């Protein structure tokens, strides 16, 4: 049975999540890709206000396609997380508790996840249309000029993810490879 959790995330909830565990997320999450991450971190470094409070929040690395008539959102599959690695530690320092993407994270991000009691989830790449069915509402929150890379506020229900990096320093990708090595 999959664990169900609701946003915003707390340290107590995050401490119950283990590498490889499948989770269904419900609540509010935010989207941001490369350009939005740069703007967020530049604003933080300048002491400026950012478009949403990072405390306990999750950022989903996605650039959704436009919604067709009658749909909440178009395709909404994860993008490669390594492109956000240079920005993630600063965001975690300022309260970010979760990230959703695909692929491995660098050592700096993994150490920040442990230090700031955060979590990195993977969403299934190639299942963008299916994932979008878990999105109840979507609205552009900031940087509309970035098009699909704008920051969206998404309300999700039973959004399927897998814990890749937990607060205990475990990495699902490394453990998976080690398990099948001869």
Fold designation for 3-180: fumarase (3.20.130)
Tens-digit pLDDT string for the chain (182 aa): 789 999 999 999 999 999 999 999 999 999 999 999 999 999 999 999 999 999 999 999 998 888 888 889 888 889 999 999 999 999 999 999 999 999 999 999 999 999 999 999 999 876 666 778 889 999 999 999 999 999 999 999 999 999 999 999 999 998 877 777 76
Q: What is the pLDDT of residue 67?
A: 86
Per-residue confidence (pLDDT) for residue 137, from 0 to 100: 94
The confidence score (pLDDT) of residue 181 equals 74
pLDDT value, residue 135: 92
Burial class (CB within 10 angstroms; exposed 0-12, middle 13-18, buried 19+) of 59: buried
Phi, psi of 112 (to 5 degrees): -65, -35
Provide the pLDDT for residue 37.
Answer: 97
DSSP, collapsed to helix, strand or coil, labels residue 52 as coil
Q: Quote the tokens at residue 111.
A: 């150490």
Q: What pLDDT score does 2 carry? A: 86
In angstroms, the Cα distances linking 7 to 31, 77, 177 are 14, 20, 31
CB atoms within 10 A of CB 23: 18
pLDDT of 182: 63
pLDDT at 54: 97
Name the token pair of 19: 């590498």
Which of these, 42, 67, 83, lies nearest to 148 by C-alpha position? Answer: 67
pLDDT in the model for residue 77: 86
Largest CA distance in the chain: 52
């Amino acid at each position: 049975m999959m664990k169900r959790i609701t946003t915003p995330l707390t340290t107590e909830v995050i401490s119950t999540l283990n590498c490889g565990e499948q989770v269904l997320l419900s609540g509010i999450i935010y989207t941001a890709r490369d350009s939005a991450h740069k703007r967020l971190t530049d604003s933080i470094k300048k002491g400026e206000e950012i478009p949403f409070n990072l405390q306990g929040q999750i950022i989903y690395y996605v650039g959704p396609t436009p919604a067709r008539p009658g749909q909440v959102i178009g395709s909404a599959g994860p993008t490669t997380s390594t492109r956000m690695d240079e920005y993630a530690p600063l965001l975690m320092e300022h309260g970010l508790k979760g990230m959703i993407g695909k692929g491995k994270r660098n050592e700096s991000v993994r150490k920040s996840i442990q230090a700031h009691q955060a979590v990195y989830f993977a969403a299934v790449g190639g299942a963008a249309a299916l994932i979008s069915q878990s999105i109840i509402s979507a609205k552009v929150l900031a940087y509309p000029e970035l098009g699909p890379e704008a920051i969206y506020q998404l309300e999700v229900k039973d959004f399927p993810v897998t814990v890749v990096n937990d607060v205990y320093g475990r990495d699902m990708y490394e453990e998976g490879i080690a398990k099948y090595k001869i």
